Amino acid sequence: MILRRPAETSLASSNAPGASLAGPWEHSNGWEPRAPLRWRFSLTTGVVVAIVVAVVTLATYATVTALLTARVDMALEEDATSLLGMSMNADSPEELGELVDEYRAFHPRSRTSIEPPQWAFAYGDSIPLGGAFRESGGGIETSIRTIGDERVVVKRHSSGATVALARDMTDTRAMVATLGTVLVTLAAAGILLAIMAGLVVSKAGLRPITRLQRAADYVTQTNDLRPIMVVGTDEMAQLTLSFNEMLAALQETRTRQSQFVADAGHELKTPLTSMRTNIELLMMANQSGNSASIPEEDRRELEKDVIAQMNELSTLIGDLVDLAREDASQKKTEKVELHEIVGTSLSRARRRRPDVDFQVRIEPWILEGDEFSLARAVLNLIDNAAKWSPPSGTVRISMRQINDSTLRLRVDDSGPGIPAEDREKVFERFYRSAEARSMPGSGLGLAIVRQVIERHEGSIRVLDSPDGGARLEALFPGYRGEGEVDSDPGFLNAEDGNERKKIFAERWFNQD
């Protein structure tokens, strides 16, 4: 059958507006906290699986579609190349007609158009011959495109011979559509299975959290800080260990608080009872019509005792407040000049004990910390040394940098010293040795000192002083300040001009 060459046709395409996609649920503020943790885990697992399955499904669909189309293109190109060679060797129109009929017989779903070289007409079906041609080698150009439901391959020789093949893609597209349906069904089933598996896994995985929650509820209801049994070595076991450590810390805090209240009550009771008795005696003596009278000397002694007991009570309350302040949360730190604190504390200690000789060497030192707490600790150290030094005794204070980030503060007294068995106990709250019970004090001063120093990442210990007293040696972190600080001239230029005292002081300040 002889056909005229059809005119070149152009295909128009239009893009329909796409519909907006909605998510599986509308996200609202505060949804996560209200949903159970198990469902949140399951839904999270489902969403992740859905995303992975969707990506895999789309990739599989696109790959299979591309492979099937490539196979059709390859088969059409092979057939078109074979027909092109035969058309160039045909000698008559009848031979071309037989060639077309034979191809249709073996490929019933394909259409064929053959144009011999230098001929003005084509044999076969009407197939558009346009498209983007590419070089295929051997003087042949190839065009591959889709028109409607057909895949069209056109091969054109430089001699003018042209072969066009069009194959119906309906069956291929139906196969791809079936594959897409199967993939979507499998994806939906996989997502449901993932959610169900997430529920099962989350229930098993959250069992230790449930046990931990029951334990926390038990502690809340019964106030019993009993530790929880640890099972395994995984992250939940580590969380349980941390919870048990928290319970132990709470129990220790509770014990310390109870002991602190008991000790404070006991320490407050003694001066209050004594002061109450003395005040009652003074009140009875001042009542009108009372025949009993107190001698003037005894009255003055009673008044002196009341004042001393009030001072003791005031000191005790101040120490308790300082301890409570140190037990509070971490305070804001600032740059503190330790040498200024030592100088100020020394001035206060000299006013309290003018009968004691203070010898001092100060170096500039700066650290990060709480100035009020550090001032209280340093003052307690110097006051403690002054309290235990006898009249005309000596208190030696030395600041010495031992490395780039550490300063040593020594405070030596000339008192009786501290026995080795009591050197750790003196830092305990309310501890007072047998010798100290006759001295004024609350037993809290050195406890405050150690608590402040340790909070500032330092340390303190008790040693023997070279002249038989006690040495309290504290280490402070920080760095050296700028400039120089004048030390107390008293320790080098003694007022009495005693050269031996001067040599001893120099040796004491320069020792390691």
Taking only the tens place, the pLDDT of each residue in 89-130 is 776 777 777 888 888 888 888 888 888 877 667 778 888 887
Look at residue 396 in the predicted model and tell me its pLDDT: 94
**8 A C-beta contact, residue 378 and residue 395:** no
**8 A C-beta contact, residue 98 and residue 174:** no
Look at residue 196 in the predicted model and tell me its pLDDT: 82
Query: Residues near 487 by Cβ (< 8 Å), separated by ≥ 6?
Result: 360, 361, 362
**Does residue 92 or residue 338 have the better pLDDT?**
338
CA-to-CA distance for 145 and 127, rounded, in angstroms?
12
Answer whether residue 28 shows pLDDT above 50.
no
Residue 92's alpha-carbon distances to 83, 88, 95, 97, 124, in angstroms, are 15, 11, 5, 9, 15
Mean pLDDT across 316-335: 69
Look at residue 407 in the predicted model and tell me its pLDDT: 95
**Does residue 292 or residue 60 have the better pLDDT?**
60
SS3 at position 170:
helix
SS3 at position 315:
helix
Look at residue 310 in the predicted model and tell me its pLDDT: 80
**Does residue 432 or residue 305 have the better pLDDT?**
305
Mean pLDDT across 212-235: 79
Mean pLDDT across 24-33: 47
Return the CA Rg of the chain. Answer: 50
Q: Which domains does the chain possess?
A: 31-197 (no CATH), 331-509 (3.30.565.10)
Answer whether residue 30 shows pLDDT above 70.
no
Sheet holding 365-369, edge to edge: 334-337, 365-369, 479-480
Answer whether residue 231 shows pLDDT above 80.
no
Backbone phi, psi, residue 163, to 5°: -130, 130
CA-to-CA distance for 103 and 334, rounded, in angstroms?
96
**Does residue 436 or residue 424 have the better pLDDT?**
424
CA atoms lying within 13 Å on the CB side of residue 187: 21
**8 A C-beta contact, residue 342 and residue 385:** no
Mean pLDDT across 262-280: 73
Q: By percentage, how much of the chain surpasses pLDDT 70?
A: 77
Mean pLDDT across 355-377: 90
Beta-bridge mates of residue 164: 113, 154
Other Cβ atoms less than 10 A from the Cβ of 173: the count is 14
For residue 459, what is the enclosing H or E element? strand 459-464
Query: Of the candidates 399, 311, 384, which has an alpha carbon nearest to the alpha carbon of residue 349?
Result: 384
Answer whether residue 49 shows pLDDT above 60.
yes
Instruction: Give the least confident one: 237-251, 300-314, 388-402, 412-426.
Output: 300-314
Average pLDDT, the chain: 77
Look at residue 254 in the predicted model and tell me its pLDDT: 80
